[in-house]
Structure 1
Amino acid sequence: MNKTVGIIVKILLLGAILALAYFIVIVINKPIKFEKERTRRFDKTINRLKDIRTAQVAYKELYGVYTPDFDTLIDFIKKENIRVVRAIGFVPDTLTEEKALELGIISRDTFYVPIMDSLFNHIDYPIDSLKYIPTGTKSMFIMDTNAVMTGSGVEVKVFQCYALNKEILDGLDHQLIINYNALKKDTCLRVGHLTEANNNAGNWE
């Protein structure tokens, strides 16, 4: 009888040890898996924000302002052309391109190419998805425009586009998202700024 009880106790103890070991592994691995997935999602989101910035800069070059509307921006990318200036000839090391042009050593040729081909020439680039955070959730970026005054009194057109961390990380462990945000100054990934002229910098740069 005592021998049987001893065996049962050993089995229960072994089970408890295995359960504890499993729990410890889960506790250790959860933050590691979270960080790996966070990095993957942030990288994809940053790349999309860079593409939005590229499109906005091209839009402003043509129209003099940024657009707060994604449909307008996407339509612009699909339909408009961008001017490309190419130098024809060889610029000597001792001269600047402008000086070589002035002396007639080189000439310039201006032509136009579709913006889609010039700036978004990736294979099958999903331009219609430009407005969406690329993490499979169909959440949209938030974008707006403004005009701010610099310290020298010059009005500068600006735009801002961002995605909240909680949207980017949607579906991951809720508490780990809270913990991550608590350690960060910004709880979003953002390009540009609405209240200052920051040369369209991203807050990850």
Structure 2
Amino acid sequence: MNSKVQLGIKAVLIVMSVLLTVRIYQSIMQPINFQRIENTRLCEVTEQLEGIREAQLAYKSEFGIYCASIDELVGFVDTGFISIIERKDTSFMYYDKIYQKDMNKDSVIIRVLGQEQVSTQLFGEGFIAETLRNISGTDSTFTMDASEINKNGVDVATFEVNAPYKVIFADIAEEYPQAYKKVENSSWTIGSLTEPTISGNYENTRCKTE
């Protein structure tokens, strides 16, 4: 075998070795890089979901039900007002006909002191309500609905908000196909249409424990 052939074989082997090294490196780094992006984005979405929950609670305090439309909820935060309520425990005497004597009865006095803009009351001055509409880093809105269930004979208002991973990570799905495939059917959710809860499925994640 002449020197030119040997040199050619060596060159091919070097190229193959480099390509193999690059592929191994990429296979190791892909899940690490994806997880870094995943953590950042999910924490951003978590913050949005908690803001939406606060807005829903304020909406319910005013109207007695949860809001079924993200557009309507954003509008409520942007231009709506929430009542400022003072609750004061009190008691008074009354005559009980059964026991035929005066008795003490506890009560609560509720006074509406005024109203304040929803965005200021919940999030502080200068808050932009539109930041609650779209899932962070995307042009897609949160999926939201509201309902009512009967629990032990009591009608309970419910709501649910979803942010599918397919939407959150759509722009990097091709760059990290293996890591994306493992999570594509998951979603970040808060509340439930079938259970009386306003908790999120992210409560024990890094975003909430740090």
Bin the TM-score by the shorter chain. 0.7 to 0.9
RMSD: 2.5
Deviations 1:97-128 (A, max 9, x none): 969xxxxxxxx9944322111212265x4312
Q: How does 1:35-46 map to 2 (within 5 A)?
A: 35-46=35-46
**Where does residue 141 of structure 2 map in the other structure?**
140
Q: CA deviation at 1:18?
A: 1.2
Match of 2:130 among 128, 131, 141: 128
After TM superposition, the score normalised by the length of structure 2 is 0.76
**Structure 2 unaligned spans of 5+:** 91-110, 204-210
Task: Give the distance between the partners of 1:197 and 1:85, measured in 2 at CA.
Answer: 25
Deviations 1:26-58 (A, max 9, x none): 111111111111111111111111111110100
Q: How does 1:52-201 map to 2 (within 5 A)?
A: 52-84=52-84, 110-121=113-124, 123=126, 125-135=127-137, 137-150=138-151, 152-173=152-173, 174-181=177-184, 187-198=186-197, 200-201=198-199
**Structure 1 unaligned spans of 5+:** 88-96, 100-107
Task: Give the distance between the partners of 2:142 and 2:53, measured in 1 at CA.
Answer: 12
Match of 2:200 among 193, 199, 202: 202
Task: Give the distance between the partners of 2:51 and 2:9, measured in 1 at CA.
Answer: 63
* 4+ runs deviating over 4 angstroms: none
For 2:201, the aligned partner's letter is N
SS for the counterpart of 2:172 is coil
For 1:75, the aligned partner's letter is G
Change (3 A) 1:4 1:24: same
Task: Give the distance between the partners of 1:155 and 1:133, measured in 2 at CA.
Answer: 31
**Where does residue 93 of structure 1 map in the other structure?**
none
**Where does residue 206 of structure 2 map in the other structure?**
none
Deviations 1:168-196 (A, max 9, x none): 111223442222357xxxx2111110011
Q: CA deviation at 1:85?
A: 5.4
Paired-residue identity, %: 28
Is 1:9 matched with 2:9? yes
SS for the counterpart of 1:113 is strand
Deviates more, 1:67-76 or 1:137-146: 67-76
After TM superposition, the score normalised by the length of structure 1 is 0.78
Task: Give the distance between the partners of 1:26 and 1:12, measured in 2 at CA.
Answer: 21
